[in-house]
Structure formats: C-alpha cells, structure tokens
Amino acid sequence: MAKNFELTSEYKVRSAGHWEILSRDVVSQTRDGLASAGFNADTALYVAAPANASAFDLAFRDFLITHLVQSGAKVYDTPGKGLEVTYNAQVVRHNSDRPHFIPGQFTMLAGGLMAAYGLRHSHIDTQLLAVLGVAGAADYANSINAGGPTNTEMILTTTVSNAGRYVSRKTDVYYLENADTPLFLRPQHFRAVNMKVVAQ
C-alpha cells in the first residue's frame, strides 16, 4: 500500500528578485560552512560559472559574487587563487498532477476553535460549520494566490571545493513556474554536420 510523506512546504521561485534572495541564503550558509570547516573568513574564493550557462546561472553567479564581496569575502575573478565555489541548478519535471489545495493554517485554527467551543455548546453545528467553511475558503484563496505547486522543481546545489576535496555543500529544492522553466535550462548546442549533396 502506498503511503504519502508528511506535508511539507517549498518556496516557489517566481522572479529575479527571488534569485537574489536565494543567493543571500547560499552565501550565508557557505560562509558558515567554511568557518565550521576551519577556513578563515578571509580565505580566497573563486565563483565558477557552469559551462553552457542558463539565464539563471549567469544572474545567480553575479548575485553570489556581489553578496560574497559585501559580506567581506575575498573573491577573485580568475580560478586557481583559492577555494572554488560552484553551483548546479537541476530542473526536474514531474508528469503527475500536483495537489493545489491542502487545508492550511486557517482550517486548522477554525477546526481547533470548533473543537474547543463545541465541547461547551452542543447545538451550534451550523455556526461552527460556517466558520470552518469560511476558513477553508480562506486557505483555498491563500493557496491559489501562491500559485500552488507546479510540475517543475529546481534542485540547487552549491559546492565549495579545495584541490578536488569537498569543503562545503548546500542543496535546496524549489518550485518553479512551468512557464519560467526555460530560464533555468542550459542552451543546447548542436554539433555541425557536413552533408554531401549528390546529383540525382
């Protein structure tokens, strides 16, 4: 018998402003990870761009460099001068349907109030059900405004390495709007093929 995991939440990346927020979190956790691995705050860093970078990759690298510099890190524009910071954005597309409404905070609050109030007053079923209905509608509106889960997610992994050894690593998962997926996909380069034309 199949069993679902416990209900979890995931941030949805919907704008370049969100990319900047992600980079701030990555920089903070990377600096903490380096400190716990015994590296000084002034350890030299180089942020490498992925090969065949996507629009997200290019902007995310700029955000990382900006926030590292602003946090006091020594960041170099050429490799080989310190630890290498790399990142990978893997796009995952699910073909199964995603649930768009899951009862949330308003329904739980109303349910709790119903239980507490219902113990003292047994003949107000209609009023209590109305409160639960309004709370459910508020949860539904709240989930619709967030856009609900999508079929597309991004697994974002940031790695700091030193001479081939992992020093620090962070991985997070985010929802992406299906329509925004091309911003995260790396361009495909096609190999040139010589074709021979023959007379018929």
* pLDDT tens for each residue of 27-67: 999 999 999 999 999 999 999 999 999 999 999 999 999 99
- Between 94 and 111, whose confidence is greater? 94
Query: 182 pLDDT exceeds 60?
Result: yes
b/e sequence 38-60, b meaning 16+ C-beta within 10 Å:
ebeeebebbbeebeeebbbbebb
Span of 24-38, 123-137, 154-168, 181-195 with lowest mean pLDDT:
123-137
Q: Which two tokens stand for residue 200?
A: 């018929």
127-143 burial, b for 16+ CB within 10 Å, e for fewer?
Answer: ebeebbeebbebbbeeb
The answer, yes or no, to whether residue 115 has pLDDT greater than 80, is no
Average per-residue pLDDT for the chain = 83
User: Domain ranges in the chain?
Assistant: 12-94+152-183, 105-145
> 55-108 pLDDT, tens per residue?
999 999 999 999 999 999 999 999 988 999 999 999 999 988 756 555 555 666
- What pLDDT was estimated at residue 190? 58
Question: pTM, whole model, 2 decimals?
Answer: 0.71
Dihedral (CA of 33, 37, 41, 44) sign = negative
Q: State how beta strands 152-162 and 83-93 pair.
A: antiparallel
pLDDT at 119: 47
Strand (E) or helix (H) holding 33: helix 16-36
Judge whether residue 5 has pLDDT over 70.
Answer: yes
For the chain, the maximum distance between any two Cα atoms, rounded to a whole number of angstroms, is 94
More confidently predicted of 112 and 188: 188
Q: Categorize the per-residue pLDDT at 200 as very low, low, confident or very high, splitting at 50, 70 and 90.
A: low
Residue 76's pLDDT is what? 96
